Structure 1
Amino acid sequence: MNAVKPRLRVGMVGTGYWAGHVHLPSLRAHPDVELVGIWGRNNLAAERLGEQFGVDAYPDLDGLIDTVDVVDLSISPAAQADIATRAAKAGKHLLIEKPIADTLKAGAALADAVRVQGVAAVTLLIHRLRPERAAWLDARRAEKPTSAHAHWHSTAMRPDSPYAGSLWRKDFSPLWDVGPHIIHQLESVLGPVVAVSAFAVGQRTRVALTMIHAGGATSAVAIDMASSRDQPLQTIDVLTGTGMHNSPPLSIDGVLSHTHALRLLRDEIRSGVTEHGFGVDVGLRTLAVLEATDRSMARDGAVVDVDIV
């Protein structure tokens, strides 16, 4: 008779819109998770979410970290890098948002902590976490792709968006917000990005990006984060040896993707084997591409090599 495996004790770090609408509903409903508590810089917000989800709001971050097996983070990249590194050094497993840090140096410190401590970590890249999208991307990779185009039109930075008050999104180009999703998908088909050329348009809510991949394939990305469209448009077109392939529609369901991420994290913790392809190494590679795009935009779209990590 199989022994019943204990549930993972998880602490939530973050009290923003995405934490309340994606992370916490998923954690609360997962049969293998015990949601222990919530911490945030705004203790009143933590208390409100704690009351909503039936758990304690912790006034002390270290107190929460000490109590749990897993730390789930939904905060700004700079704060996430610092807190996730502290949690990893304390031997805690991680479920982290993208981008994993605000600089490549901070991301490398996080990756080193995860590796040295031997903890499990999964990055929440919600599109490729969906099995149907992963299967479509894998099929395209097998068909000798030569190029791809991605279009991302979102309302995230419009004044009426729940993300409009996000300070870190205003400080960075849109590529730092949605770029990890796009880069991760395109690299899974065309291979690692080795060079980029990027332009920001208007109030930095629109970006045009060209990427050169190892082996010579190319990809082009158009992003508009303050689109006049009421419905998001997120498509990928891939040219392969069998013709042009358009990505099938994918509903954005962050809770479903988070639930898949929890399953991957649970399996890694139980097996000790990392096979899922959503670890901090993926997040670190994405950071290298993002920093290269910033250097390119600062040089009026000059082609910039991506640092090897």
Structure 2
Amino acid sequence: MTDASLPWSHAPVKVGLVGAGPWARAVHARVLAAGPETQLTAVWARRAEAARETAAPYGADVAARFEDLLDSCEAVAFAVPPSVQAELACRAAEAGKALLLEKPLALDLPSAQRLVDAVDAAGVVSQLVLTSRYNPATRRFLAAAQGVDAVGARACWLHGAFLGGDFATAWRLEHGALLDLGPHVLDLLDAALGPIVRVRGTGDPRRWIGLTCTARSRASGAVTRRLAVQFSPMSSAASPGSSCSARTPSSCTTAPHSTTRRAGPCCAGSSPPPSAPESPASSMSTAGCVCRP
């Protein structure tokens, strides 16, 4: 991530966009075209009309083939289902293109590993879109967490994407909240407490699922930290809210890293995140460290 306080003095990176669905239209195309670090040069999608609608507001070209997109750019951004991304991103890496990848990387471990191997073999730059990392409130939380002597953590994420609308896309409805939202919350727990080395899940990934994760302490290297995570689609009757438990609430810190949140007793006084456009798939999430007495 570049420092927004410094002027951009380089030529923009020419980026081709793969996909023309809701996220591609609402987020990827708009941000890539805004610059000054990037320039949206072309859009390719399975549906040519959708690609034209996505590209037109920004004067970008519409690529007739995926290969034509690769010829028009230096980097490729993906806004497609993970099964499609896993295949096409390998081809983009082999063509020497930098990659901006959506989460999850793929639907299964072998497909994800093939993509990792392709990136390593090509030596190209790649980044996964874990947007919560770049929220100023989240950055403050992660910085504060480094100074907390935590023995574990709890995270809960509620999401409305399964209620319907443009963001209730087919792959999300089929594979559920874990693959859709799990990368965000697990990434933050990993960053706050140490590398996650084991995961055990129970429940139905398409409805409610709970994970128990074990993390390795960065300080001692010991595998001692237990992390509890819950994922659930938000129902129309849900009342989003969560609290984190700590033996000493005043020393416990939480991460307000979404557009909607309700503070629990441990996050009283936390600054709300900066305003962001709401989508039909609005979410509420909390994460907190369980502190030593």
Q: TM-score, normalised by structure 2?
A: 0.77
Q: Which secondary structure state, in structure 2, belongs to the residue aligned with residue 245 of structure 1?
A: coil
Partner in structure 2 of residue 213 of structure 1: 215
Whether the aligned pair in 2 keeps the contact of 1:93 and 1:121 (CA below 8 Å) is yes
Displacement of 1:107 in angstroms is 1.3
Whether the aligned pair in 1 keeps the contact of 2:135 and 2:257 (CA below 8 Å) is no
| Higher relative contact order, chain-length normalized (CA < 8 Å, sep 6+) | 1
Q: State how far apart, in whole Å, the 2-side matches of 1:211 and 1:23 are.
A: 32
Partner in structure 1 of residue 175 of structure 2: 172
Displacement of 1:76 in angstroms is 0.6
What are the residue-to-residue correspondences of 1:56-135 with 2, within 5 Å? 56-135=61-140
Q: How big is each residue's C-alpha offset from its partner over 1:46-95, in whole Å with a ceiling of 9 and x where there is no partner?
A: 11112233222111110111221010101011110111111011000011
Partner in structure 2 of residue 195 of structure 1: 198
Q: How big is each residue's C-alpha offset from its partner over 1:263-306, in whole Å with a ceiling of 9 and x where there is no partner?
A: xxxxxxxxxxxxxxxxxxxxxxxxxxxxxxxxxxxxxxxxxxxx
Partner in structure 2 of residue 6 of structure 1: 11
What are the residue-to-residue correspondences of 1:257-276 with 2, within 5 Å? none
Displacement of 1:106 in angstroms is 1.4
Displacement of 1:146 in angstroms is 1.1
Q: How big is each residue's C-alpha offset from its partner over 1:233-258, in whole Å with a ceiling of 9 and x where there is no partner?
A: 6x7848598743232464279998xx
Q: Which secondary structure state, in structure 1, belongs to the residue aligned with residue 134 of structure 2?
A: coil
Partner in structure 2 of residue 222 of structure 1: 230
Q: State how far apart, in whole Å, the 1-side matches of 2:208 and 2:18 are.
A: 30
Amino acid at match of 1:154: H
How many pairs does the alignment contain?
252
Q: Which secondary structure state, in structure 2, belongs to the residue aligned with residue 41 of structure 1?
A: coil
Whether the aligned pair in 2 keeps the contact of 1:147 and 1:238 (CA below 8 Å) is no
**Cα distance 1:135–1:84, how it changes in 2: closer, same or farther (>3 A)?**
same
Whether the aligned pair in 2 keeps the contact of 1:13 and 1:74 (CA below 8 Å) is yes
Is 2:39 aligned against 1:31? Answer: no
Whether the aligned pair in 1 keeps the contact of 2:12 and 2:35 (CA below 8 Å) is no
Displacement of 1:142 in angstroms is 2.6
Partner in structure 2 of residue 246 of structure 1: 254
Q: Which secondary structure state, in structure 2, belongs to the residue aligned with residue 210 of structure 1?
A: strand
Q: For structure 1, which segment, 42-51 or 204-213, has the greater mean C-alpha deviation from structure 2 after superposition?
A: 204-213
Q: State how far apart, in whole Å, the 2-side matches of 1:48 and 1:78 are.
A: 24
Q: How big is each residue's C-alpha offset from its partner over 1:116-164, in whole Å with a ceiling of 9 and x where there is no partner?
A: 22211111101112243123123213322111111111111013x3222
Q: For structure 1, which segment, 191-200 or 82-91, has the greater mean C-alpha deviation from structure 2 after superposition?
A: 191-200
Q: State how far apart, in whole Å, the 1-side matches of 2:71 and 2:240 are.
A: 40
Q: Which secondary structure state, in structure 1, belongs to the residue aligned with residue 203 of structure 2?
A: strand
Q: How big is each residue's C-alpha offset from its partner over 1:206-241, in whole Å with a ceiling of 9 and x where there is no partner?
A: 2222212222111111222233268866x7848598
Displacement of 1:195 in angstroms is 2.5
**Cα distance 1:239–1:86, how it changes in 2: closer, same or farther (>3 A)?**
farther
Q: How big is each residue's C-alpha offset from its partner over 1:7-33, in whole Å with a ceiling of 9 and x where there is no partner?
A: 211100011101110111101111122
Identity %: 31
Is 2:166 aligned against 1:162? Answer: yes
Q: State how far apart, in whole Å, the 2-side matches of 1:135 and 1:122 are.
A: 22
Amino acid at match of 1:246: T
Q: Which secondary structure state, in structure 1, belongs to the residue aligned with residue 76 of structure 2?
A: strand
Whether the aligned pair in 1 keeps the contact of 2:214 and 2:225 (CA below 8 Å) is yes
Whether the aligned pair in 2 keeps the contact of 1:146 and 1:239 (CA below 8 Å) is no
Gaps of 5+ in 1: 257-309
Q: Which secondary structure state, in structure 1, belongs to the residue aligned with residue 46 of structure 2?
A: coil
| RMSD of equivalent CA atoms | 2.9
Q: State how far apart, in whole Å, the 1-side matches of 2:93 and 2:60 are.
A: 23
Amino acid at match of 2:184: H
Q: State how far apart, in whole Å, the 2-side matches of 1:42 and 1:53 are.
A: 18
Partner in structure 2 of residue 186 of structure 1: 189
Q: Which secondary structure state, in structure 2, belongs to the residue aligned with residue 127 of structure 1?
A: helix
Amino acid at match of 1:213: A
Amino acid at match of 1:169: R
Partner in structure 2 of residue 262 of structure 1: none
Whether the aligned pair in 1 keeps the contact of 2:144 and 2:253 (CA below 8 Å) is no
Higher-helix-fraction structure: 1
Amino acid at match of 1:209: L
